[in-house]
Structure 1
Amino acid sequence: MTNPEAMQPYQRIVQDLRRQIATGQLQPGSRIPGIKELAEQYAVAPGTAQRALGELRIEGLIYSQQGRGSFVSNQAPISTESTADAVRRLEGMVSELLARVERLERGSD
């Protein structure tokens, strides 16, 4: 699992809401907290919370209705990613992080 402190703030929100949807804590049709509520809950700027909701909309996990808010989609996939795909994705993330660390270490020499 990714270290929450190493993630971008919007990614922490996405991961948390994704987990709540996958575990059934947030059921299809359930209202997702609004931008202001998420911003306060996660101590982030409203734009960060908005970006997180946008990511979840792109993934098809939630939908939004003007003036009503955002809701868990009835077609929210529990997990569409195979284990092999997940491992490949995680390997890519680790490679990217290693490259970042190497750049930072070279910069501090």
Structure 2
Amino acid sequence: MSLMSNESVQPYQRIVQDVRDKIRSGRLTAGTKLPSTRELADEYGVAPGTVQRALAELRVGGLIYSHQGRGSFVTETASESSEDSTARALKRLEDQVSDLVARLEKIEKGRNA
């Protein structure tokens, strides 16, 4: 990676991306406790505030949740890839369409009887 492209990525974004990659690859699984803010700050060589910003973004993205005084943990749904959730959403839509078609056919038969 060149220096220029590295500078365009904020330090907190590097942490967010790294945690995302660890979840996607299965190195971090649902319920796993993340290291403390201090440990992450030391690991990435950044200020605790930078880590907190990264954790806030991961929370908003639904990848982690935090318990006051206990730490941050990977959510149950974080490890589901976006393809999985897309496939499930499509399956739900297909089921709904099938149901609507069946209802419509009943209504049409009732009218023509």
Which bin holds the TM-score, normalised by the shorter protein?
0.5 to 0.7
| Cα distance change, pair 4–16 in 1 and its aligned pair in 2 (3 A) | farther
- Extract unaligned runs of 5+ from structure 2: 87-113
Runs of 4+ in 1 over 3 A off after TM superposition: none
Query: Match of 2:32?
Result: 30
Provide Cα deviations, 1:11-52, integer angstroms capped at 9, x if missing partner: 000000000011110000000111111100000000000000
Equivalent runs, 1:53-92 vs 2, <5 Å: 53-76=55-78, 77-79=80-82
Q: Distance in 2 between matches of 1:21 and 1:5?
A: 24
Q: Distance in 1 between matches of 2:46 and 2:22?
A: 19
% identity of equivalent residues: 57
User: In the alignment, is the contact (CA less than 8 A) between 1:4 and 1:12 conserved in 2?
Assistant: no
Q: Distance in 1 between matches of 2:51 and 2:63?
A: 15
Q: Distance in 2 between matches of 1:33 and 1:78?
A: 23
2:52 pairs with 1:44: no
Larger radius of gyration: 2
Higher helix share: 2
Q: TM-score, normalised by structure 2?
A: 0.65
Code of the aligned partner of 2:17: Q
Residue-pair matches, total: 81
Give, in angstroms, the shift of residue 78 of structure 1: 2.2
Code of the aligned partner of 2:10: Q
- Extract unaligned runs of 5+ from structure 1: 83-109
Output the aligned Cα RMSD. Answer: 2.2
Equivalent residue for 2:19, pick from 6, 14, 17: 17
